[in-house]
Structure 1
Amino acid sequence: MKILIIEDEVKTASALSRHLHAMRPGTIIAGAIQSVEEAVLWFNRKEPVDLVFMDIQLTDGACFDIFKSVKVEAPVIFCTAYSEYTTQAFKNNGIDYILKPFTQADIENALLKVEHFSSFFQRTAQADTRLLDLLKSISGEKQGKTSFLVFHQHSYINLSTSEIKYFYKSLTGVFAVTDESHEYPMKESLDEIQRLLAPRDFYRINRQYIIAFKSIQEVQHYFDRRLTVTLVVKTAEKLIVGREKATSFLHWLGDR
């Protein structure tokens, strides 16, 4: 899911980005914009996004001036400290309205609201195709890359994604690991790999590891509300899911 953040407070934009990555691994933040002028330039370039989080008051005016200047095709979740603009917001692509200071639960509820509409639009013959694509993406229906081109034993081979148990990053590079702990060096960064994978099949548990659902053998509670994960193949170090991702990870495990 590709999301644009339009927010003039840098700390708020950063917090929103962290929440989105924690709740929906694989989310791509297309940009963080602070003004009406920047937003108009962005949308005039016709760079497609799936969803927009938008503040009301920006550095150079109200966000509604954006809609007067350019067509915004993506649905918008308004995130603001002002409660008096709800009617105007829902007249301008608004799908939800969150009041600051927001919590992770507020963001989760807004995303769930978008997901709720998914089933409705899927049953409606006249549903907007673009919105359907967004909702399917949020629901984790992205197909993902089926193979990676890797250089192994002096030859290039296509390594099937279905064979990969996990990816990891070390001081010497990024590697894919398959059955019997065979390792293949990757030319892509771990961030790039995360964007290419199907979110339903792979989860980035921390900065070093992306693991496959089918490779998980056991998950246990760890101290300080963290989790440990054991895979069907050995890893060089203990796999730990931080407490900020634990709830999202368990939701991913159970969402089958």
Structure 2
Amino acid sequence: MKTVIIEDEKAAVRNLTSLLYEVKPEAEIDAVLDSIGSTIEWFGSHPMPDLVFMDIHLADGSAFEIFEHISITCPIIFTTAYDEYALRAFKVNSIDYLLKPIGKEDIEHSFEKLNSLNASGSSSVGKQSSQDMEWLQLIHSLKKQENYKTHFLIPLKGDKLLPVSVDMIQLFYIKDCQVKAVLTDGTEHYFPQTLDELAECLNPALFFRANRQYLISREAIKDIDLWFNSRLSINLRYPSISEKILVSKARVAEFKEWFARKKCNK
């Protein structure tokens, strides 16, 4: 079984490798990749492996960005310290979602699920056993209980905190390696959270992750240009931000669907 490990923590790689060989001695590790960039490059020049173990937080961003550039058609087992990405993981053909620290029993259970899929003739991604579907339904019910952020306290100079409601925020973007928010009055403030963290704690009906640098609301959008290779170029209402915000071809349909949900989600 040819396997690829996508993980940026060396200790986690060592632990996973040891457990994998213990549970599946015949496994072959074709590659250990530690970033979005190296993963895209590797899959672009190598045949598809039989299985992928994938961490979510990588050296250069969220692993979900990988799927905006390439298609991974083999089974994927996600390994992470965070439980809030489970629904999103199943949308990209995950067969299991393991929370760190990972033990031998976790790996054994994952291979039992994989064997069950193979035995039922549903080994192709996108098809799930009844056990997977029950687990997915549980995640759906937990997701309904999730409380998205409605307010923030922004730290200001002079030991002050500025209370801001989410509906006052037009967009978040990365500038000088820090996250800034633009408010409805045009003022900008630095945020201590990363863009990945904000994307996970905000209602996805209100904000769209256009690319690695921008998380935008509908109200921030001035107009949209059709761009090369079937992409979209979003222009903002704020002249201080002149950069073109490109939405990849793979996410154009998702963006249009998100934008069209405006009335039913407001």
Q: Secondary structure of 1:253's partner?
A: helix
CA shift in 2, pair 1:173/1:13, >3 Å: same
- Give the TM-score, by structure 2 length: 0.53
**CA RMSD in angstroms, aligned pairs only:** 4.5
Aligned: 1:184 with 2:170: no
Partner of 1:171: 176
Structure number with higher relative contact order (C-alpha < 8 Å, ≥ 6 residues apart): 1
Residue number among 243, 246, 258 corresponding to 1:252 in the alignment: 258
Distance verdict in 2 for CA 1:9–1:67, change over 3 Å = closer
- The 1:132/1:237 distance shift into structure 2, 3 A limit, reads closer
Percent identity over the alignment is 21
Aligned twin of 1:66: 109
Partner SS state of residue 224, structure 1:
helix
Amino acid at match of 2:78: A
2:204 alignment partner, SS class: coil
**Secondary structure at the counterpart of residue 133 of structure 1:** helix
Matches of 1:48 and 1:190, distance apart in 2: 15
Task: Decide which of 78, 83, 93 is 1:32's aligned counterpart.
Answer: 78
Contact 2:227/2:233, CA 8 A, preserved across alignment: yes
Shift of 1:251: 2.2
State the 1:227 CA deviation.
0.4
Q: Distance in 2 between matches of 1:14 and 1:68?
A: 15
Give the equivalent residue in structure 1 for 2:155.
151
Is the CA contact 1:217–1:231 (under 8 Å) kept in the aligned structure 2? yes
Residue deviations 1:73-104 (CA, integer Å, cap 9, x gap): xxxxx778x975228xxxxxxxxx451xx5xx
- Could you tell me whether the CA contact under 8 Å between 1:165 and 1:212 is conserved in 2? yes
Task: Report Cα offsets for 1:27-62 as digits up to 9, x if no partner.
Answer: xxxx735xxxxxxxx9xx9x787456327xxxxx9x
- Structure 1: state its 5+ residue gaps: 1-6, 23-30, 34-41, 56-60, 70-77, 88-96, 119-127
- Structure 2, unaligned runs of 5 or more: 6-42, 44-51, 57-62, 69-76, 97-103
Residue 230 of structure 2 corresponds to which residue in structure 1? 225
Closer, same or farther: CA 158–64 of 1 in aligned 2, 3 Å? closer
Matches within 5 A, 1:1-256: 8-10=3-5, 12-13=52-53, 18=64, 22=68, 32-33=78-79, 50=86, 53-54=94-95, 66=109, 84-86=118-120, 97=122, 99=124, 102=125, 106=126, 130=138, 132-134=140-142, 136=144, 143-154=147-158, 155-171=160-176, 173-234=178-239, 235-255=241-261, 256=264
Following superposition, the deviation at residue 207 of structure 1 comes to: 0.9
| Amino acid across the alignment from 1:229 | I
TM-score between both structures, scaled by the size of structure 1 = 0.55
The more displaced of 162-171 and 212-221 is 212-221
Rounded to whole Å, the distance in 1 between the matches of 2:260 and 2:154 is 32
For these two proteins, the number of residue pairs brought into alignment is: 183
